[in-house]
Protein backbone atom coordinates (compact mmCIF):
# COMPACT_ATOMS: atom_id res chain seq x y z
CA UNK A 1 0.00 0.00 0.00
CA UNK A 2 1.86 3.07 -1.32
CA UNK A 3 0.51 5.66 1.12
CA UNK A 4 1.38 3.58 4.17
CA UNK A 5 4.85 2.84 2.77
CA UNK A 6 5.55 6.50 2.09
CA UNK A 7 4.40 7.43 5.59
CA UNK A 8 6.60 4.74 7.12
CA UNK A 9 9.57 6.08 5.14
CA UNK A 10 8.87 9.61 6.41
CA UNK A 11 7.77 10.77 2.94
CA UNK A 12 4.80 12.53 4.44
CA UNK A 13 3.91 14.81 1.52
CA UNK A 14 3.82 11.81 -0.80
CA UNK A 15 1.61 10.02 1.73
CA UNK A 16 -0.74 13.03 1.72
CA UNK A 17 -0.90 12.89 -2.09
CA UNK A 18 -1.67 9.17 -2.12
CA UNK A 19 -4.37 9.41 0.55
CA UNK A 20 -5.93 12.39 -1.25
CA UNK A 21 -6.05 10.44 -4.52
CA UNK A 22 -7.83 7.58 -2.76
CA UNK A 23 -10.45 10.01 -1.43
CA UNK A 24 -10.95 11.49 -4.91
CA UNK A 25 -11.90 8.00 -6.10
CA UNK A 26 -14.82 8.04 -3.68
CA UNK A 27 -13.32 5.69 -1.13
CA UNK A 28 -13.99 6.99 2.38
CA UNK A 29 -13.32 5.54 5.82
CA UNK A 30 -12.40 6.60 9.32
CA UNK A 31 -8.89 5.10 9.17
CA UNK A 32 -8.25 6.83 5.84
CA UNK A 33 -9.09 10.28 7.24
CA UNK A 34 -7.13 9.45 10.40
CA UNK A 35 -4.00 8.53 8.43
CA UNK A 36 -4.35 11.61 6.23
CA UNK A 37 -4.63 13.75 9.35
CA UNK A 38 -1.45 12.18 10.72
CA UNK A 39 0.40 12.88 7.47
CA UNK A 40 -0.74 16.51 7.40
CA UNK A 41 0.41 16.99 10.98
CA UNK A 42 3.83 15.57 10.11
CA UNK A 43 4.32 18.21 7.40
CA UNK A 44 3.24 20.96 9.78
CA UNK A 45 -0.24 21.58 8.34
CA UNK A 46 -2.21 21.55 11.58
CA UNK A 47 -5.37 23.05 10.07
CA UNK A 48 -5.83 20.22 7.58
CA UNK A 49 -4.80 17.70 10.23
CA UNK A 50 -7.66 18.87 12.45
CA UNK A 51 -10.05 18.85 9.48
CA UNK A 52 -9.32 15.21 8.70
CA UNK A 53 -9.39 14.16 12.36
CA UNK A 54 -12.84 15.76 12.61
CA UNK A 55 -13.97 13.80 9.56
CA UNK A 56 -12.55 10.61 11.04
CA UNK A 57 -14.33 11.28 14.34
CA UNK A 58 -17.67 11.24 12.54
CA UNK A 59 -16.98 7.73 11.31
CA UNK A 60 -15.23 6.25 14.36
CA UNK A 61 -15.92 8.61 17.28
CA UNK A 62 -14.77 6.23 20.04
CA UNK A 63 -11.32 5.38 18.62
CA UNK A 64 -8.77 6.07 21.38
CA UNK A 65 -5.76 6.73 19.12
CA UNK A 66 -7.78 9.18 17.06
CA UNK A 67 -8.99 11.04 20.14
CA UNK A 68 -5.47 11.25 21.55
CA UNK A 69 -3.99 12.57 18.30
CA UNK A 70 -6.84 15.05 17.90
CA UNK A 71 -6.27 16.44 21.40
CA UNK A 72 -2.50 16.54 20.87
CA UNK A 73 -2.76 18.48 17.62
CA UNK A 74 -5.28 21.01 18.92
CA UNK A 75 -3.20 21.50 22.07
CA UNK A 76 -0.14 22.25 19.93
CA UNK A 77 -1.89 24.99 17.93
CA UNK A 78 -1.16 28.50 19.17
CA UNK A 79 -4.26 30.39 20.32
CA UNK A 80 -6.49 27.36 19.67
CA UNK A 81 -9.77 27.51 21.55
CA UNK A 82 -12.01 24.48 21.89
CA UNK A 83 -15.63 25.05 20.84
CA UNK A 84 -17.84 25.35 23.90
CA UNK A 85 -21.43 24.17 24.04
CA UNK A 86 -23.99 26.55 25.44
CA UNK A 87 -26.27 25.09 28.09
CA UNK A 88 -26.68 21.66 29.63
CA UNK A 89 -29.01 20.39 26.90
CA UNK A 90 -26.60 21.41 24.14
CA UNK A 91 -23.73 19.70 25.95
CA UNK A 92 -25.75 16.50 26.29
CA UNK A 93 -26.63 16.55 22.59
CA UNK A 94 -23.01 17.18 21.60
CA UNK A 95 -21.78 14.30 23.76
CA UNK A 96 -24.49 12.05 22.37
CA UNK A 97 -23.70 12.64 18.70
CA UNK A 98 -19.95 12.50 19.35
CA UNK A 99 -20.19 9.06 20.95
CA UNK A 100 -22.00 7.44 18.01
CA UNK A 101 -21.33 7.70 14.31
CA UNK A 102 -24.23 8.40 11.95
CA UNK A 103 -24.25 4.79 10.72
CA UNK A 104 -24.29 3.50 14.29
CA UNK A 105 -27.29 5.68 15.14
CA UNK A 106 -29.16 4.36 12.09
CA UNK A 107 -28.40 0.77 13.10
CA UNK A 108 -29.52 1.41 16.68
CA UNK A 109 -32.75 3.04 15.49
CA UNK A 110 -33.45 0.04 13.28
CA UNK A 111 -32.71 -2.31 16.17
CA UNK A 112 -34.98 -0.41 18.56
CA UNK A 113 -37.81 -0.45 16.00
CA UNK A 114 -37.65 -4.22 15.57
CA UNK A 115 -37.22 -4.71 19.33
CA UNK A 116 -40.42 -2.73 19.92
CA UNK A 117 -42.21 -4.75 17.24
CA UNK A 118 -41.05 -8.03 18.78
CA UNK A 119 -42.06 -6.80 22.24
CA UNK A 120 -45.60 -5.99 21.12
CA UNK A 121 -45.98 -9.35 19.38
CA UNK A 122 -44.94 -11.12 22.59
CA UNK A 123 -47.22 -8.88 24.65
CA UNK A 124 -50.13 -9.74 22.37
CA UNK A 125 -49.64 -13.51 22.33
CA UNK A 126 -48.60 -13.89 25.99
CA UNK A 127 -51.26 -11.44 27.20
CA UNK A 128 -48.92 -9.39 29.34
CA UNK A 129 -50.41 -6.93 31.79
CA UNK A 130 -51.04 -3.31 30.89
CA UNK A 131 -48.27 -2.23 33.29
CA UNK A 132 -45.67 -4.39 31.54
CA UNK A 133 -46.78 -3.24 28.09
CA UNK A 134 -46.73 0.40 29.16
CA UNK A 135 -43.26 0.12 30.73
CA UNK A 136 -41.82 -1.60 27.66
CA UNK A 137 -43.41 0.93 25.33
CA UNK A 138 -41.99 3.87 27.30
CA UNK A 139 -38.48 2.38 27.30
CA UNK A 140 -38.50 1.60 23.57
CA UNK A 141 -40.10 4.95 22.75
CA UNK A 142 -37.55 6.87 24.80
CA UNK A 143 -34.63 5.09 23.14
CA UNK A 144 -36.09 5.69 19.70
CA UNK A 145 -36.71 9.40 20.30
CA UNK A 146 -33.24 9.97 21.80
CA UNK A 147 -31.39 8.41 18.88
CA UNK A 148 -33.72 9.89 16.27
CA UNK A 149 -33.19 13.37 17.74
CA UNK A 150 -29.42 12.83 17.76
CA UNK A 151 -29.45 11.66 14.13
CA UNK A 152 -31.61 14.59 12.97
CA UNK A 153 -29.45 17.10 14.86
CA UNK A 154 -26.24 15.63 13.42
CA UNK A 155 -27.60 15.66 9.86
CA UNK A 156 -28.87 19.23 10.15
CA UNK A 157 -25.63 20.63 11.56
CA UNK A 158 -23.07 18.46 9.76
CA UNK A 159 -23.04 20.62 6.64
CA UNK A 160 -22.53 23.86 8.58
CA UNK A 161 -19.44 22.89 10.57
CA UNK A 162 -16.10 23.91 9.08
CA UNK A 163 -12.42 24.14 9.98
CA UNK A 164 -10.09 27.09 9.41
CA UNK A 165 -7.23 25.73 7.29
CA UNK A 166 -4.86 28.69 7.60
CA UNK A 167 -4.80 31.84 9.75
CA UNK A 168 -7.32 34.32 8.35
CA UNK A 169 -9.09 37.58 9.14
CA UNK A 170 -12.88 37.74 9.36
CA UNK A 171 -14.25 40.97 7.87
CA UNK A 172 -17.31 43.05 8.64
CA UNK A 173 -18.31 42.81 4.97
CA UNK A 174 -17.60 40.34 2.12
CA UNK A 175 -14.86 42.48 0.54
CA UNK A 176 -11.07 42.39 0.60
CA UNK A 177 -10.89 46.05 1.62
CA UNK A 178 -13.46 45.69 4.43
CA UNK A 179 -12.45 46.30 8.04
CA UNK A 180 -11.18 43.27 9.94
CA UNK A 181 -13.55 42.17 12.70
CA UNK A 182 -11.45 39.42 14.28
CA UNK A 183 -8.70 36.93 13.47
CA UNK A 184 -9.06 33.17 13.18
CA UNK A 185 -6.42 30.53 13.64
CA UNK A 186 -5.69 27.26 11.88
CA UNK A 187 -7.66 24.32 13.18
CA UNK A 188 -10.38 26.52 14.67
CA UNK A 189 -13.88 25.04 14.37
CA UNK A 190 -16.51 27.45 13.09
CA UNK A 191 -20.07 27.42 11.75
CA UNK A 192 -20.87 28.57 8.22
CA UNK A 193 -24.05 30.64 7.95
CA UNK A 194 -24.32 31.63 4.28
CA UNK A 195 -22.31 32.35 1.15
CA UNK A 196 -21.92 35.47 -0.97
CA UNK A 197 -19.76 34.82 -4.02
CA UNK A 198 -16.35 33.70 -2.81
CA UNK A 199 -17.08 34.75 0.78
CA UNK A 200 -18.59 32.83 3.65
CA UNK A 201 -20.37 34.34 6.61
CA UNK A 202 -19.16 32.40 9.62
CA UNK A 203 -19.81 32.25 13.34
CA UNK A 204 -17.08 31.64 15.88
CA UNK A 205 -17.54 29.54 19.03
CA UNK A 206 -18.03 32.71 21.10
CA UNK A 207 -20.87 33.87 18.83
CA UNK A 208 -18.92 36.49 16.87
CA UNK A 209 -19.81 36.61 13.17
CA UNK A 210 -17.82 37.80 10.18
CA UNK A 211 -17.01 37.25 6.52
CA UNK A 212 -14.03 35.18 5.40
CA UNK A 213 -12.61 34.17 2.03
CA UNK A 214 -13.90 30.65 1.35
CA UNK A 215 -10.39 29.45 0.45
CA UNK A 216 -9.37 29.70 4.11
CA UNK A 217 -11.97 27.29 5.43
CA UNK A 218 -13.35 23.88 4.50
CA UNK A 219 -16.54 22.19 5.60
CA UNK A 220 -16.16 19.03 7.64
64-76 helix and 30-42 helix, angle to the nearest 10 degrees: 30
CATH of 2-76, one of 1.25.40.10, 3.40.50.1860, 2.40.340.10, 1.10.3720.10: 1.25.40.10
CATH of 161-219, one of 2.30.30.40, 3.40.50.720, 1.10.10.10, 1.10.20.60: 2.30.30.40
30-42 helix and 12-24 helix, angle to the nearest 10 degrees: 150
DSSP 215: G
Geometric angle at alpha carbon 98, from 92 and 103, rounded to 5°: 125
Top mean-pLDDT range of 87-96, 118-127, 168-177: 168-177
Share of the chain above pLDDT 70, in %: 87
d(CA 214, CA 175): 12
Q: Exposed, middle or buried: residue 112 (CB in 10 Å: 0-12, 13-18, 19+)? A: buried
Each residue of 7-58: pLDDT tens digit? 999 999 999 999 999 999 999 999 999 999 999 999 999 999 999 999 999 8
- Order of strands across the sheet with 161-164? 180-184, 168-171, 209-213, 199-203, 189-196, 161-164, 217-219
Amino acid sequence: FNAASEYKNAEYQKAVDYYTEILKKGLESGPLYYNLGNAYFKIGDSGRAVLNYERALRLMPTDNDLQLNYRYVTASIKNYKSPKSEGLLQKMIDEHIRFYSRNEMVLILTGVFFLALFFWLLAFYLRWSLKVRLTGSILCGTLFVVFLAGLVFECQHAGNAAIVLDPADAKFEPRDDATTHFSMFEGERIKTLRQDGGWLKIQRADGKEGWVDQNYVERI
